[in-house]
C-alpha cells in the first residue's frame, strides 16, 4: 500500500545562522526502501539517531525526501494533485510518544479529536459530534469526555484521546511513534491491547517506531532494523527474533534484558558508540563496532539483499 524507494533525507549542518553553505549534511535517512502492506504492522527498531523518527516524518509528509520517492496505492506522491494529497492525509494518521505534549491543553477533547476532519467534510455539526463520540467509544472513553480538557485525564487516557484523533478520518494507516514509552508500566498493556484490537476490527496498517523491543514484538508482524540511517535487516518479526541475521540485530536483541533473574542470555556487548551521522564510517556503517568485521567491511558498502525467503539484510557475511 505504502512504499518508499531509496528514501534519503539530509539536513544541512550549519554553524550559528543558517546562511551560506552548510558545513556538511546530516544523513538522517540514507537510502531506505521499505513497504507496508494493508493490515500489517511494520515495527521499526533502532537506537536514537538511527533515523527511525525521520523516516516516520517522511511517511507523514512532515518532511520531504532529499532523494527517493514515496508511493501510495501505486501512485508516486510527487505526482499527487490537491485532492490526492487531501486523501493521503486522511488515510495516513499519527500517534506520538508523549500525550502530555501532543494534545493542546487549551482545546476541549471534542475539538482535539475533530481537528483532522477536513473543513468541507460534508458533516453537519451534529454529524461531527456523532463521529467524535463514536471514536471516543472505540478507544474506550465515554462519549461525554468530549466536553473536558486534556488535563482532566491521566496519561493512559490522554493517549486514548490521541488515538481517537488519529481514527476520526477513517484512516488506513497509522504511524505510531513510540506509542507506549511515555506511559506507566501498568498502563502500557492497556494501550497495546487497544491498538491490537483496533487493528483487528478496522483493518488498519501500522508503522510502529520503538526502541522497546518487547513492545515492538507484541504488535509487529514484520520488523525493520535501522542503524545510522540505513536498514540493516528486515523480515517476519518472529523469524528475526528467533534468528537475527545481521550482527547489529544480534547485539541489539541480546542487549534486551530477559524478564527473569535466572534467564541468562549470551550477551554480545558492543564497544564504541553510534557513528556521527554527518560522517558515517566508510564501507559498512557498523564495522567499527562489529564483532565479525572483515577487511572488506571497511571498504565496500554491503548491498541490502534477500538472503533467505523473506529475509533481507545488508551484511558481507551473507
Partner 1 sequence: MTPPLLVVDDLKTHFFTRRGITRAVDGVSFTLRAGETLALVGESGSGKSVTCLSLVRLVPEPAGRIVGGRVLLDGEDLLGKSPAEMRRVRGKQIAMVLQDPMTSLNPALTIGTQIGEVVRLHQGLRGASLRARALEALRRLRIAAAETRLGQFQHQLSGGMRQRVSSAIAMSCAPRLLIADEPTTSLDVTIQAQYLDLLKEVQQATGVAIILVTHDFGIVAANADRVAVMYAGRIVEIGSTLDVFNAPAHPYTRALLRCLPDIDARGGRLVEIGGQPPDLTRLPPGCPFAPRCSERQPRCETEYPAAVSIDDGHVANCWVAVAAGARPR
Of 251, 290, 297, 314, the residue at the interface with partner 1 (CB under 8 A) is: 251
Please name which of 128, 137, 198, 205 lies closest in space to residue 169, comparing C-alpha atoms: 128
Among 10, 59, 72, 218, binds partner 1 (CB under 8 A): 218
Q: Is 266 in the site for partner 1 (CB under 8 A)?
A: no
Q: According to CB under 8 A, which residues from 167 to 196 bind partner 1?
A: 184-190, 192-193, 196
- Cβ nearer to partner 1, comparing 61 with 293: 293
Q: What character string, x for contact with partner 1 (CB under 8 A) and - otherwise, covers 25-64?
A: ----------------------xx----------------
Among 213, 223, 225, 284, binds partner 1 (CB under 8 A): 213
We find the least distance from the C-beta atom of residue 291 to partner 1, in angstroms, to be: 12
In this structure, how many other beta carbons lie within 10 angstroms of the beta carbon of residue 1?
A: 17
312 near partner 1, rule: CB under 8 A:
no
Q: Could you give the string, one character per residue 131-150, with x where binding to partner 1 holds by CB under 8 A and - elsewhere?
A: --------------------
Q: Which residue in 263, 266, 303, 309 binds partner 1 (CB under 8 A)?
A: 263
Neighbours of 279 (CB within 10 A): 11
> Does residue 257 belong to the site contacting partner 1 (CB under 8 A)?
yes
Q: Is 288 in the site for partner 1 (CB under 8 A)?
A: no
Report the alpha-carbon distance of residue 242 to residue 254 in Å, rounded: 11
Q: Decide: is 237 part of the binding site for partner 1 (CB under 8 A).
A: yes
42: β partners: 207, 222
Nearer to partner 1, 66 or 254 (CB): 254
Interaction with partner 1 in 77-106: which residues (CB under 8 A)? none
Give me the least distance between CB of 191 and partner 1, in Å please.
10
Beta carbon nearer to partner 1, 38 or 273: 273
What span, in angstroms and rounded, lies between the C-alpha atoms of 83 and 309? 39
Count the residues of the shown chain that bind partner 1, applying the rule CB under 8 A: 41
CB closer to partner 1, 164 vs 220: 220
Nearest to 53 by CA among 112, 11, 116: 11
Q: Which is nearer to partner 1, 38 or 184 (CB)?
A: 184
Q: Give, rounded to a whole angstrom, the gap between the first and last alpha carbons of the chain.
A: 29
* β-sheet bridge partners, residue 174: 93, 206
Task: Give yes or no for a contact between 312 and 234, defined as CB atoms under 8 angstroms apart.
Answer: yes
Specify the residue, 172 or 285, whose C-beta has the smaller distance to partner 1: 285
Bridge partners (DSSP) listed for residue 43: 208, 223
| CA separation for the pair 316, 307 (Å, rounded) | 11
Tell me the closest approach of the beta carbon of residue 187 to partner 1, in angstroms. 8
Binder among 148, 255, 278, 293 for partner 1 (CB under 8 A): 255
Residues that bind partner 1 (CB under 8 A): 47-48, 154, 156-157, 184-190, 192-193, 196, 211, 213-215, 217-218, 237-238, 241, 251-253, 255-263, 267, 269-270, 273-274
Amino acid at each position: 500500500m505504502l512504499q518508499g524507494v531509496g528514501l534519503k533525507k539530509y539536513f544541512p549542518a550549519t554553524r550559528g545562522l543558517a546562511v551560506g553553505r552548510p558545513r556538511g549534511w546530516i544523513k538522517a535517512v540514507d537510502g531506505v526502501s521499505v513497504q507496508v502492506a494493508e493490515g500489517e504492522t511494520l515495527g521499526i527498531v533502532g537506537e536514537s539517531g538511527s533515523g527511525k523518527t525521520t523516516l516516520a516524518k517522511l511517511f507523514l509528509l512532515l518532511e520531504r525526501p532529499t532523494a527517493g520517492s514515496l508511493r501510495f496505492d501505486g501512485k508516486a506522491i510527487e505526482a499527487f494533485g490537491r485532492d490526492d494529497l487531501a486523501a493521503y492525509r486522511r488515510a495516513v494518521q499519527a500517534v506520538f510518544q508523549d500525550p502530555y505534549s501532543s494534545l493542546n491543553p487549551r482545546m476541549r477533547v471534542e475539538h482535539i479529536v475533530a481537528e483532522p476532519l477536513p473543513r468541507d467534510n460534508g458533516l453537519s455539526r451534529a454529524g461531527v459530534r456523532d463521529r467524535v463520540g463514536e471514536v471516543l467509544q472505540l478507544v474506550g472513553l465515554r462519549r461525554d469526555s468530549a466536553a473536558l480538557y486534556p488535563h482532566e485525564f491521566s496519561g493512559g487516557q490522554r493517549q486514548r484521546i490521541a488515538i481517537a484523533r488519529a481514527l476520526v478520518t477513517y484512516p488506513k494507516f497509522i504511524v505510531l511513534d513510540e506509542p507506549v514509552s511515555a506511559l506507566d508500566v501498568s498502563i502500557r498493556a492497556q494501550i497495546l491491547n487497544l491498538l491490537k484490537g483496533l487493528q483487528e476490527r478496522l483493518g488498519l496498517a501500522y508503522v510502529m517506531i520503538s526502541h522497546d523491543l518487547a513492545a515492538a514484538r507484541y504488535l509487529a508482524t514484520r520488523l525493520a532494523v535501522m542503524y545510522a540511517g540505513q536498514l540493516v535487516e528486515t523480515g517476519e518479526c518472529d523469524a528475526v527474533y528467533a534468528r537475527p541475521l545481521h550482527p547489529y540485530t544480534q547485539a541489539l536483541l541480546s542487549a534486551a534484558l530477559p524478564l527473569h533473574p535466572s534467564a541468562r542470555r549470551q550477551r554480545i556487548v558492543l564497544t564504541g558508540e553510534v557513528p556521527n551521522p554527518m560522517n558515517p564510517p566508510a564501507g559498512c556503517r557498523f564495522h567499527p563496532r562489529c564483532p565479525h568485521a572483515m577487511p572488506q567491511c571497511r571498504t565496500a558498502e554491503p548491498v541490502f539483499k534477500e538472503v533467505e525467503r523473506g529475509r533481507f539484510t545488508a551484511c558481507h557475511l551473507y
